[in-house]
Structure 1
Amino acid sequence: MRKSRLPKLIRRNGSHLLVGFLASAVLVGMLLGYDIAGLTQLASGGFPGLIALFVLWVVCGLVLSAVQFGLSSVNLRDDDDDTPGGGLRAPVREYAPVRVPVSKPRRKI
């Protein structure tokens, strides 16, 4: 098996595009199957109806793949992070008041 030379991010994006467009195909199929808003009559009306279905599939595919990619990016873990977790913060410094001598200003008459 030949190893892909594409970067990991591009391969991840491609797989999420595929999943998003498959989900979009299922969604458009369900919209046609249940005849939501008369979509089946629109599609069977001729070439403009098929163009409308194609545009619906592409737009839904782009949205669903972007959502899929965003959710996977949020859930991505960084395994090589060596910093301690759990809310360990730098200690807060407490400042103490210090007296500073001030000379009285001279009055000019």
Structure 2
Amino acid sequence: MPRLVRLYIRQVAIGFGLSGVFVALLLGLDVAHLRSLMLSTEGGAIAAFLLFFFNGLVFAGVQFAMTIMRMAEPEDKGPRGGRRKPVATDTVVPVRVAARR
């Protein structure tokens, strides 16, 4: 199996694991009365599954994107940030503007 495919599968598994933890905390702490709402309605199990599944898709995508962005090689092309030569800003330069009548 290619290395990138293995990386993707691993990041998807981590994303869905995080989704499981997130949904468990939401339902365990009864945030916005979600647990009581899911337990009192007929389609509560489907709602819990969909909450887990769609959060898993989002978390897996973010996890994979962060991993891919961290794989970039650092750019070492000259000075950056605070190492630039300071620009003289205290020099007065006259500016001539032609006036119209």
The match for 1:86 is 77
Distance change >3 Å, CA 7–CA 47, structure 1 → 2: farther
The match for 1:61 is 56
Q: Which runs of 5+ in 2 are unaligned?
A: 80-101
| Separation in structure 2 between the aligned mates of residue 47 and residue 53 of structure 1, nearest angstrom | 12
Which 4+ residue blocks in structure 1 deviate beyond 2 angstroms?
84-88
RMSD: 2.1
Whether 1:70 aligns to 2:61 is: no
| Separation in structure 2 between the aligned mates of residue 47 and residue 65 of structure 1, nearest angstrom | 29
Superposition pairs of residues 30-69 of structure 1, within 5 angstroms: 30-69=25-64
Secondary structure (helix, strand or coil) at the match of 1:85 reads coil
- Per the normalisation by structure 2, the TM-score is 0.70
Which of these two proteins has the greater Rg computed from alpha carbons? 1
Secondary structure (helix, strand or coil) at the match of 1:39 reads helix
Larger helix share, 1 or 2: 2
Whether 1:7 aligns to 2:2 is: yes
Matching residue's letter, 2:46: I
| Separation in structure 1 between the aligned mates of residue 50 and residue 66 of structure 2, nearest angstrom | 24
The match for 2:13 is 18
Percent identity (aligned): 35
Aligned residues: 79
Q: CA deviation at 1:46?
A: 4.7
